[in-house]
């Protein structure tokens, strides 16, 4: 249960974290609580309906909620029948939120007079309901019910706005968290091209309801925090006995030096410290209201240095965290809201084409799913495909006879390749940095397009062959931006497969001049500076690994540990990075506090990841885990077994691989300018 109160964390000898800004509490979804009841007659009060939603939430079991969380962790797939059943069971709670959304305000009747003992029992279940609504909205997008999805997302935005009505800093942070859940669901709709101007208008009205200067009511929350703290101290420190003050403070601090300082205070001294705290809170409110973020940051930095030095008195030292992070959260949320409103206004006014926002990754995932319906003859041909070998007459006949089974998947891959925007991060779990679920499917997608091109070429349809090869080259440009090393490997081989198929078709059935120009344009979509995305993927992998390994260290050793990690990871090549990711991946399944995601399917990626590699990584992982957590230097050494991965060798030839294909395309396209070699650039 969320509770307004103080919890202390020792760092540099003073309070640095309290429940006033306990960010980690936001991630906790606690479902057992004693909610405050809104009056049944207050139908204009959104809290009346939210309370009913909270009551309905109790119908779901912990296991059912966990299944929905697992679905949310992999948004690219549709809901299973079991998840659909759970979402239907959650329907009454969702309906109550839909009823609450149009209400003008939300008042849970909080007992502000309780001060630090104020309970906020509604926050956790409301956040849990929002997660259910997000899952339900995405499931409806999968089903093609865009109107219902937009209605639910709009209600989630309104719920975020209503939570801020508590005027408590924790509620403000939860408000921002709920807004992010709603916005993620909205982005899923944009990725799918699901929202027309009418649906955008529904979302726009809900986002316009926020106070655009302080959307999560953070400044109002600061004022309320000040009022609660001052009233609490004055009410509970009325005794003239300093020993009683120390007794009360015993629940707020575990540091004997502060206890002793309070015990030695006079009443006048305590009042002076309280006035210092109150004046500082006034200053925070004034600063946060400033228009220039850089000026605000400079002022906050100055205050925090003074707070660290104890220049604002013991009450401020006890009660206040460094509020820079809270300000940055408020600022980032405000900017995010403004950007969303601007986009929605553009769609509603016809200034932005909603289709331009669609995400090619959604079409690729759809193509992967539809590839499961391929005729066995196509599946066998994909597995055995060699772009340099012509298809036999019997093979062409067999594939042509069953070509209908491939057309839906092929069409999805082609349509995705024609989109400008592609963001695979929306299709994977944030922890899926080793083998994303779509890697094997994309590998087969390249083979499917190249195989169809070769089949069409054998039938003399060079226009169709060029269309499919162009899609493969454009798809390579998209996947190369994924910033995952395995994706870069799949991209490189898919690109070269299409290049070999194009060269083989050109030898037997010449492409027209127009077809050659189209192929050349598609090939150039892969940037010359980082062909196939290897450089970006290694940089992203190092950042990901550094963040995880840094978090394993104890608090006081994290800063020097980060420097050591950064220096060490710079020396680890792509093979070593993949092996590290494989080890961490095996350790993270079912990680405490995070829903598990499916174990990666590497069956289609044998040319990159030998089963031996995975098994060795799983054996090495526990020892690496123990050494890294203990901070032993032995952890910072990659086992020799990492060398069998074979990424670095492919990475080293990436630019020349791409240049060779560009040279072929430019020569075949009849261009006068001869391409420069990588060494000339």
pLDDT tens digits along 478-498: 999 999 999 999 999 999 999
Q: Which residue has the higher pLDDT, 74 or 143?
A: 143
Could you tell me the two tokens for 38? Answer: 């809104």
Task: Read off the pLDDT band of 4 (50, 70, 90).
Answer: low
Summarised one tens digit per residue, pLDDT across range 385-429 is 999 889 999 999 999 999 999 999 999 999 999 999 999 988 887
Name the token pair of 273: 């410290």
Assess contact for 326 and 285: CB atoms under 8 A. Answer: no
Q: Is 651 exposed, middle or buried (0-12, 13-18, 19+ CB in 10 A)?
A: buried
What is the per-residue pLDDT across 44-96, written as a single tens digit (0 to 9) for each?
899 999 999 999 999 999 999 999 988 887 766 789 999 999 999 999 999 99
pLDDT in tens, 174-187: 999 999 999 999 99
What predicted TM-score, i.e. pTM, was given to this entire model?
Answer: 0.78
Residue 325's nearest CA partner among 120, 151, 475, 172 is 172
If one counts every other C-beta atom within 10 angstroms of the C-beta of residue 241, the result is 10
The pLDDT confidence band at residue 374, using thresholds 50, 70 and 90, is very high
Cα–Cα distances in angstroms (integers) from residue 661 to residues 452, 463, 667, 679, in the given order:
20, 20, 10, 16
Percent over 70 (pLDDT), the chain: 83
Residue with tokens 């797939």: 77
Residue 18, SS3 per DSSP: coil
pLDDT at 34 > cutoff 90 = no
Helix (DSSP H) and strand (DSSP E) numbers for the chain:
30, 4
pLDDT of residue 590: 46
Q: What is the pLDDT of residue 194?
A: 92
Identify the band that residue 640 occupies on the pLDDT scale cut at 50, 70 and 90: low
User: Three-state SS for 603?
Assistant: coil
Q: Say if residue 266 is exposed, middle or buried (CB neighbours under 10 Å; 0-12, 13-18, 19+).
A: exposed
Q: Which residues pair with 120 in a beta bridge?
A: 2
Both tokens assigned to 674: 């001869």
Q: Which two tokens stand for residue 610?
A: 């030998």
What is the tens place of the pLDDT at every residue in 440-469? 999 999 999 999 999 999 999 999 999 999
Contact (CB, 8 A) for 479 and 369 = no
Q: Would you state the structure tokens that stand for residue 621, as one six-digit string?
A: 């992982």
With CA atoms as reference, report the closest residue to 163 among 111, 215, 223.
215
Question: Which token pair is 256?
Answer: 């004997």
H or E stretch covering 247: helix 242-249
Identify the DSSP state of 45: B
Confidence of residue 17 (pLDDT cuts 50, 70, 90): very low
pLDDT at 678: 42
Of 5, 507, 511, which Cα lies nearest the Cα of 252? 5
Q: What is the DSSP string of 257-270?
A: HHHHHHHT--HHHH
């Amino acid at each position: 249960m969320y509770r307004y109160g103080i919890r202390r964390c020792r760092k540099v000898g003073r309070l640095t974290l309290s429940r006033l800004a306990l960010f980690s509490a936001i991630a906790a979804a606690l479902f057992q609580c004693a909610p405050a009841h809104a009056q049944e007659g207050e139908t204009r009060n959104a809290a009346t309906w939210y309370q009913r939603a909270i009551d309905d939430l109790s119908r779901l079991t912990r296991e059912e909620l966990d299944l929905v969380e697992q679905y949310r962790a992999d948004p690219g797939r549709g809901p299973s029948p079991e998840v659909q059943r759970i979402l239907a069971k959650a329907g009454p709670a969702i309906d109550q939120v839909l009823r609450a959304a149009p209400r003008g305000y939300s008042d849970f009747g909080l007992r502000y007079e309780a001060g630090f003992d104020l309970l906020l029992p509604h926050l956790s279940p409301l956040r849990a309901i929002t997660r259910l609504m997000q899952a339900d909205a995405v499931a409806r997008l999968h089903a093609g019910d865009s109107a219902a999805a937009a209605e639910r997302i709009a209600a989630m935005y309104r719920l975020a706005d209503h939570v801020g009505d508590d005027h408590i800093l924790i509620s403000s942070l939860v408000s921002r968290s709920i807004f992010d859940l709603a916005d993620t669901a909205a982005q899923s709709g944009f990725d799918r091209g699901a929202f027309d101007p009418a649906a955008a208008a529904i979302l726009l009205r809900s986002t316009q309801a926020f106070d655009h200067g302080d959307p999560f009511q953070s400044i109002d929350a600061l004022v309320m925090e000040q009022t609660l703290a001052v009233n609490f101290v004055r009410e509970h420190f009325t005794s003239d006995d300093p020993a009683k003050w120390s007794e009360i403070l015993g629940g707020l601090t575990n540091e004997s030096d502060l206890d002793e300082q309070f015990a030695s205070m006079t009443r006048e001294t305590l009042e002076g410290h309280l006035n210092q705290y109150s004046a500082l809170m006034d200053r925070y409110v004034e600063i946060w209201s400033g228009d220039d973020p850089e000026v605000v940051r400079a002022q906050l930095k100055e205050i925090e240095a003074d707070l660290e030095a104890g220049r604002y008195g013991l009450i401020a030292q006890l009660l206040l965290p460094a509020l820079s992070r809270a300000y940055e959260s408020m600022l980032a949320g405000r900017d995010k809201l403004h950007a969303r409103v601007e986009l929605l206004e553009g769609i509603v006014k016809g200034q932005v084409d909603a289709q331009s926002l669609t995400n090619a990754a959604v079409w690729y995932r759809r193509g992967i799913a539809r590839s499961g319906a391929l005729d066995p003859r196509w599946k066998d041909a994909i597995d055995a495909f060699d772009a340099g070998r012509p298809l036999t007459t019997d093979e062409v006949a067999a594939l042509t006879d069953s070509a209908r089974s491939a057309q839906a998947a092929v069409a999805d891959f082609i349509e995705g390749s024609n989109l400008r925007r592609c963001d695979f991060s929306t299709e994977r779990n944030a922890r899926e940095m080793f083998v994303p679920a779509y890697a094997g499917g994309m590998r087969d997608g390249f083979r499917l397009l190249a195989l169809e091109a070769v089949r069409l070429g054998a039938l003399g349809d060079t226009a169709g062959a060029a269309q499919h090869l162009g899609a493969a080259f454009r798809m390579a440009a998209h996947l190369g931006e994924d910033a995952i090393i395995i994706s870069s490997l799949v991209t490189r081989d898919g690109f070269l497969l299409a290049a070999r198929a194009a060269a083989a078709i050109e030898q037997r059935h010449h492409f027209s001049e127009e077809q050659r120009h189209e192929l050349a344009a598609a090939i150039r979509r892969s940037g010359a500076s980082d062909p196939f995305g290897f450089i970006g993927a290694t940089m992203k992998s190092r950042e990901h690994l550094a963040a995880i390994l840094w978090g394993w260290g104890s608090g006081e050793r994290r800063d020097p540990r980060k420097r050591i990690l950064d220096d060490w990871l710079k020396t680890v090549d792509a093979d070593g990075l993949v092996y590290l990711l494989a080890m961490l991946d095996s350790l993270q399944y079912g990680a405490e506090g995070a829903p598990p995601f499916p174990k990666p399917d590497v069956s289609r990626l044998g040319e990159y990841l030998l089963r031996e590699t995975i098994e060795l990584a799983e054996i090495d992982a526990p020892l690496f885990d123990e050494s890294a957590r203990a901070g032993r230097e032995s952890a910072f050494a990659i086992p020799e077994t990492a060398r069998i991965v074979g990424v670095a060798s492919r990475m080293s030839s990436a630019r020349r691989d791409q240049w060779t294909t560009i040279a072929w395309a430019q020569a075949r396209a009849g261009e006068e300018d001869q391409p420069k070699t990588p060494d000339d650039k």
